[in-house]
Amino acid sequence: MRWADLDQLGHVNNVVYVDYLQEARVDMIRTHVPASRPEGTQLAEGVVVVRHEVTYLAPLTFRFRPIRIECWVTEIRAASFTVGYEVFDQDDDGRRTTYVRATTVLTPYVFATERPRRLSESEGEILSRFLEPTEKRQRIRVASPPEETRRHYPLHVRFSDVDVYGHVNNVKYFEYFQESRFRLMSELTGGLPDPDGRPAVVVAQTDVDYRMPILFREQAYDVWSHVSHVGSRSFTVESEIRDGESLLSRARMVLVWFDPRAQRSVEPSEEYRALLTRAS
């Protein structure tokens, strides 16, 4: 863990967990499958993310001892495979605290032609050694934000956002959607008094679908976001990244109002909820 991983609540920021998952996934493929060469090298360095589903279960604070991540393969298909994860800690008595559960759908990719490919027979055999099928979470479809309620965030890609293949790294999409959400909430609730009008917010669930690569360029991309649902202690934000008419990515984020002192969810003020309800 790094001190820079923490947010203003002193918790590891939701975006950072996706970086942890990426490190664990690459380590599993590259290091722990000695019989996978040359195919394993291709899988470690020649796959793209199709979808992330991340469920945040408990806040993680800074410590000097390492955090643990278990990862395994939950499903293998002709041209994709799914990796499951659990981010956890375990004390000396064996008590386990789980902070995040997640899955990532990946597909082998030929970067020279910018096209996905099928898994080879040997790659499928290698992945099957890690196969532990798990029950799938019900997938919720995300539509384009309605024009009458959506808010715009101009996305400028930084040079440091781009990986060795010239694509924006999958982790950065979480950061883009977070920035768009901050802009949305500021525009919707910026006039409310502090602190009662604007309680803290933590992320409970984030699902991201990747459709087309985002590339480094001078012109901004468009991120559109809106509040799609408001509950008693949580609300949902749906977003998409576009380049003109081309859809690049979609996301759905469930957020919970949070009391940092009591470390539990709370109900917001009626004024706050009413503002979000009118915008949904």
Handedness of CA 2, 4, 5, 7 (dihedral sign): positive
> According to the model, what pLDDT value does residue 33 have?
59
> According to the model, what pLDDT value does residue 193 have?
67
Please give the mean pLDDT across all residues of the chain.
91
Smallest CA-to-CA distance from 88 within 63, 73, 67, 61 is with: 67
- Is there a contact between 151 and 187 (Cβ–Cβ < 8 Å)? yes
Handedness of CA 87, 93, 94, 95 (dihedral sign): negative
Alpha helices (H) along 129-207: 170-189
Chain mean position to CA 244: 24
- Flag residues of the chain having pLDDT under 70: 32-42, 44-45, 193-198
> According to the model, what pLDDT value does residue 136 have?
84
> According to the model, what pLDDT value does residue 174 have?
98
Q: Which domains does the chain have, with CATH numbers?
A: 1-139 (3.10.129.10), 140-280 (3.10.129.10)
> According to the model, what pLDDT value does residue 238 have?
97
Classify 36 as helix, strand or coil.
Answer: helix
pLDDT, tens only, 18-47: 999 999 999 988 876 554 445 555 676 688
Render 41-81 in DSSP notation, one character per residue: HHHHHSEEEEEEEEEE-S--B--SSPPEEEEEEEEE-SS-E
Helices then strands, each counted (H, E), the chain = 5, 11
Sole residue written with tokens 């409970």:
204
Name the residue type at position 70: E
